[in-house]
């Protein structure tokens, strides 16, 4: 011991950044995405076409917008299962407003406003009243969609202004749709928020150890409230895109999306237990899920089989890391 | 005094004997060749400071740990406890401070949970469960109906159920680990009546307690542990409390601690009549610049609670806080950090550090507003901050980006203290700063605590370890049951006086 008198120099990091990247979940996922892409290309002659590929992105862009915010919430150790119901309520509100003659700008504001309002309800119940988010959002899921059913019954709203169609059907440049452009912008925005700001760092601290985060002076409740607000906002934006794309609103709109969104987040390598994962993984997971559902669609696989597939994907991606950890522990023990 | 009604002849062979028991953990010798004997129909009190090895002994006796060396004899025959069931089969049972019971289950179900008698078909034999529970409760001279739900019982009755549960395994050797810690005087009296009944039934009882009045009231024999060794044992009658206290703490303390003599500056913080609805009352003290102010007391005396209220985790219901001449209110940890008061909690893994995050991110966590620029992280600044404290404390880690959870306890503590020093505090509160840290690292932690004080930082240090308190503190406040039991100056620091104040024997003449 006494011979080690010289100052030990602790390096900042171990190994190179490329080595870390190559061993990551995101790389594995990217490999899967490429395999599915190739499989699709072989399975259907119509797949490798710029317009077809562009159409394929509509399978995931709206869900992915919500998934980005959901990723932050799950990393912080919370969850919002009411997102699809928020989309339904926001869409219903926009439909009612369109009937009353509100213009496109007004409709967008209503969509965003309803999303934020629902986020405030969830955020207040979780961070002010300190209720568990899974229970709160299962409750608000029924509440929000219930309101949509009461308002609409078995009717549907249509008659949106022509200019409103742009958000779900417009193209920014050649085959790049408005929705896809929005997806790229928010992917970058959320990646910066989570990985390059103090706010993002605090989310990881809360998700890994809420007590220690609180003991470090982090305002845990405030951050959770903001995250619910953000998830509500993104659900509102997704509602605008979806309503615009479909051109009508039924109360069953976006039914079951909460599970697909959570699946996308978990598939993206974000631990359902909180504390770890990156936005990059969610982006790749969005492509994987979009390509799979589009590929199955080209092969005329019915929707119910797709939902079975989504369910299996969720179970496998949650169990796989836990199984691997258990096997490793048994190996070292 | 206790004429055994048992047919077996009264002999000098102990019911249970442990000889030369040793147990070590990485860096710590928890037990070093201890002997202890328990006799039928007698209560043996096991006395020692926190960390003296009492809990380790209990765990070996109940089969949770295996001893590294030594042997256990029951009725003079050697036995081997490979697991908890072996200990139960040999007739050893333990009543812990807080036995887990279930409110919604019946008394009988609580007593036999996990080992209920079964019918031939494998179903629970409810008739037998209720009958045996009734018999067991009768033997404890209680008339609780075994079929009623636990939630309908009083606290004292619940305690009886916990004891009945411990005895339901046909125990002959009963370990009571601080059974009175959470009880009122009336409940203690009830418990002692039960102990007397157990004695009459010829059971051997190991009674662990910090409270001398209780020990003298109930015990026939005593055994004192210190630093993992048995330093004294025998019949309690005729042995004074002062002798026991001397055995507990008797050692030279000062030389092992690097406490630097610091000229104390002006008062930095004064706490005036701080009161919490349930945890502490009327606590007042003043902290001076460069001072190490020790807070000593038994577990549950309210020491951590006062510190946590100074850090904004809990709010006091009354009292004033004056920092550098200005009255302040602390409502959250953020307020405390802003005022320059930081807290190194007792539970490092739970409250102190985010074990999964890298070292550098833990150190920068409360200082993010200074390492960042308009809300954006700057990794280079974070690494520089982390490196500064890693070098200062001679941190041993493979890299600054490894998770804190991969470090040893001592190095984790260095990260936690480093994270707080990085906020440039005025007052550092340390709650059990060397708990769970091996002896080598303890000295390093003590050295830098002393160094920080000599640089002008004011330190409040909570500790259950007498040598640490006596060796490091300029002044010591002793707390007992939520109240201050006196503030002792460094000149008059005397371990025996601290123990007396903490255990409530201040009236005993030295």
Using beta carbons and an 8 Å cutoff, which residues of A are at the interface with B? 7-8, 10-14, 196-202, 204-205, 208-209, 211-219, 275-276
Q: Which of A11, A201, A214 sits opposite B333 (nearest CB)?
A: A214
Q: Which of A266-280, B124-138, B339-353, B438-452 has the lowest mean pLDDT?
A: B438-452
> pLDDT band at B256, cuts 50/70/90?
low
| In this structure, CATH architecture of domain A29-332 | Orthogonal Bundle (1.10)
Residue in chain A closest to B365 (alpha carbons) equals: A216
How far does B123 lie from chain A, in Å, by closest CA? 34
Q: Is the dihedral of CA B215, B221, B222, B228 positive or negative?
A: negative
* B30 or B382: which leads in pLDDT: B382
Instruction: Please state the rounded mean pLDDT for residues B444-459.
Output: 89
> pLDDT band at B182, cuts 50/70/90?
low
* A113 or B49: which leads in pLDDT: A113
**A196, B376: Cβ pair inside 8 Å?**
yes
**A198, B372: Cβ pair inside 8 Å?**
yes
Q: Using alpha carbons, select from B386, B397, B338 the residue that is nearest to residue B361.
A: B386
Residue A199 has pLDDT above 90, yes or no: yes
> pLDDT band at A24, cuts 50/70/90?
confident
Query: pLDDT tens digits, residue range B392-403?
Result: 888 888 899 999
How far does B297 lie from chain A, in Å, by closest CA? 23
Q: Is B343 on the interface with A (CB under 8 A)?
A: yes
B171: exposed, middle or buried (Cβ count in 10 Å: 0-12, 13-18, 19+): buried
Q: Is B257 on the interface with A (CB under 8 A)?
A: no
Instruction: Please state the rounded mean pLDDT for residues A194-218.
Output: 96
How far does A107 lie from chain B, in Å, by closest CA? 33
Q: Is B395 on the interface with A (CB under 8 A)?
A: yes
- Return all residues near B131 (Cβ < 8 A) that are at least 6 apart: none
* B75 or B466: which leads in pLDDT: B75
Instruction: Please state the rounded mean pLDDT for residues B217-232.
Output: 89
Cα dihedral value B312, B314, B318, B322, nearest 10: -20
On average, the pLDDT of chain B sits at 85
At residue A159, the 3 state secondary structure works out as coil
> pLDDT band at B5, cuts 50/70/90?
very low
Task: Quote the tokens at residue B23.
Answer: 């147990």
Task: Quote the tokens at residue B428.
Answer: 């550092």
* A107 or B139: which leads in pLDDT: A107
Query: pLDDT tens digits, residue range A30-50?
Result: 888 898 888 888 887 878 888
At residue B128, the 3 state secondary structure works out as helix
**B350, A13: Cβ pair inside 8 Å?**
no
Q: What is the predicted ipTM?
A: 0.87
Q: How far apart are CA B211 and CA B500, in angstroms?
A: 10
Q: Which of B333, B368, B402 sits opposite A201 (nearest CB)?
A: B368
Residue B84 to residues A35, B20, B37, B58, B98, Cα–Cα distance (Å): 53, 21, 20, 11, 18
Q: Which of A86-100, B4-18, B136-150, B341-355 has the lowest mean pLDDT?
A: B4-18
Residue in chain B closest to A197 (alpha carbons) equals: B376
Say what the pLDDT of residue B262 is. 74
Q: Using alpha carbons, select from B296, B225, B273, B213 the residue that is nearest to residue B48.
A: B225
> pLDDT band at B99, cuts 50/70/90?
low
Q: Which of A113-122, B251-260, B276-285 has the lowest mean pLDDT?
A: B251-260
Whether the Cβ atoms of residue B337 and residue B366 lie closer than 8 Å to each other: yes
Q: Which of B354, B399, B400 sits opposite A213 (nearest CB)?
A: B354
């Amino acid at each position: 011991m006494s011979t080690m008198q010289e100052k030990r120099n602790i390096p900042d990091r171990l190994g190179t950044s490329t080595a870390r990247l190559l061993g990551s979940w995101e790389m594995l996922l990217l490999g899967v995405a490429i395999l599915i892409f190739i499989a699709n290309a072989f399975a259907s002659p119509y797949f490798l076409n710029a317009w077809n590929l562009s159409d394929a992105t509509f399978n995931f862009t709206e869900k992915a917008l919500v998934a980005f915010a959901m990723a932050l919430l799950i990393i912080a150790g919370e969850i919002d299962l009411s997102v699809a119901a928020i989309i339904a309520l926001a869409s219903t509100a926009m439909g009612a407003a369109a009937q009353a003659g509100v213009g496109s700008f007004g409709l967008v504001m209503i969509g965003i406003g309803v999303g934020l309002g629902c986020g405030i309800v969830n955020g207040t119940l979780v961070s002010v009243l300190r209720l568990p988010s899974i229970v709160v959002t299962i409750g608000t899921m029924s509440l929000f969609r219930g309101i949509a059913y009461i308002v609409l019954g078995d009717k549907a709203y249509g008659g949106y202004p022509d200019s409103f169609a742009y958000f779900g059907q417009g193209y920014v440049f050649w085959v790049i749709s408005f929705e896809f452009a929005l997806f790229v912008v928010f992917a970058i925005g959320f990646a910066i928020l989570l990985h390059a700001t103090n706010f993002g760092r605090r989310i990881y601290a809360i998700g890994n150890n809420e007590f220690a985060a609180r003991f470090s002076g982090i305002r845990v409740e405030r951050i959770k409230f903001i995250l619910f607000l953000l998830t509500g906002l993104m659900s509102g934006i997704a509602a605008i895109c979806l309503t615009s794309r479909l051109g009508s609103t039924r109360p069953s709109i976006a039914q079951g999306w909460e599970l697909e969104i959570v699946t996308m987040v978990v598939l993206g390598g974000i631990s359902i237990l909180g504390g770890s994962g990156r936005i990059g993984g969610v982006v790749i997971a969005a492509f994987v899920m979009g390509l799979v559902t589009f590929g199955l669609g080209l092969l005329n696989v019915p929707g119910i089989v797709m939902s079975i597939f989504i369910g299996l994907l969720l179970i496998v991606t949650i169990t796989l890391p836990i199984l691997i950890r258990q096997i490793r522990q048994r190996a070292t023990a | 005094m206790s004429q055994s009604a048992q047919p077996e002849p009264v002999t000098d062979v102990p019911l249970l004997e442990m000889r030369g028991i040793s147990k070590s953990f990485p860096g710590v010798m928890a037990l070093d060749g201890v002997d202890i004997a328990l006799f039928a129909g007698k209560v043996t009190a096991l006395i020692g400071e926190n960390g003296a090895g009492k809990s380790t002994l209990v765990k070996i006796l109940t089969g949770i740990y295996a001893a590294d060396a030594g042997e256990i004899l029951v009725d003079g025959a050697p036995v081997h406890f490979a697991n908890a069931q072996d200990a139960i089969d040999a007739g050893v049972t333990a009543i812990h401070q807080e036995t887990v019971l279930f409110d919604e289950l019946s008394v009988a179900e609580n007593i036999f949970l996990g080992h209920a008698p079964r019918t031939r078909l494998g179903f629970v034999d409810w008739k037998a469960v209720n009958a045996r529970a009734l018999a067991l409760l009768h033997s404890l001279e209680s008339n609780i109906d075994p079929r009623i739900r636990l939630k309908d019982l009083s606290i004292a009755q619940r305690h009886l159920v916990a004891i009945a549960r411990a005895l339901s395994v046909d125990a002959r050797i009963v370990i009571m680990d601080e059974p009175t810690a959470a009880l009122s005087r009336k409940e203690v009296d009830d418990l002692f009546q039960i102990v007397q009944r157990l004695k009459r039934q010829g059971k051997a009882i190991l009674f662990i307690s910090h409270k001398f009045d209780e020990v003298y009231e109930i015990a026939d024999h005593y055994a004192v542990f210190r630093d993992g060794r048995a330093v004294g044992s025998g019949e309690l009658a005729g042995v004074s409390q002062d002798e026991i206290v001397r055995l507990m703490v008797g050692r030279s303390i000062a030389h092992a601690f690097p406490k630097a003599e610091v000229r104390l500056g002006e008062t930095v913080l004064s706490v005036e009549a701080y009161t919490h609805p349930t945890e502490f009352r009327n606590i007042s003290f003043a902290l001076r610049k460069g001072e190490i102010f020790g807070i000593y007391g038994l577990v549950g005396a309210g020491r951590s609670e006062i510190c946590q209220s100074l850090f904004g985790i809990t709010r006091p219901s009354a009292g004033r806080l004056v920092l550098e001449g200005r009255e302040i209110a602390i409502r959250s940890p953020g307020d405390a950090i802003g005022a320059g008061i930081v807290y190194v909690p007792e539970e490092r893994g739970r409250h102190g550090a985010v074990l999964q995050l890298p070292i550098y991110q833990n150190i920068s966590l409360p200082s993010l507003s200074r390492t960042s620029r308009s809300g954006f992280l700057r990794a280079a600044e974070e690494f520089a901050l982390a490196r500064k404290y890693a070098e200062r404390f001679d941190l041993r880690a493979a890299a600054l980006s490894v998770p804190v959870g991969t470090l040893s306890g001592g190095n984790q503590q260095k990260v936690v203290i480093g994270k707080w020093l990085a906020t440039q505090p005025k007052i550092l509160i340390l709650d059990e700063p060397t708990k769970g840290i091996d002896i080598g690292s303890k000295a390093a932690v003590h050295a830098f605590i002393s160094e920080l004080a000599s640089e002008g930082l004011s330190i409040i240090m909570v500790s259950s370890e007498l040598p640490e308190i006596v060796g490091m503190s300029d002044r010591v406040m002793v707390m007992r049951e939520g109240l201050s039991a006196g503030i002792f100056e460094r000149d008059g620091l005397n371990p025996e006086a601290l123990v007396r104040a903490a255990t409530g024997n201040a009236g005993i003449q030295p």
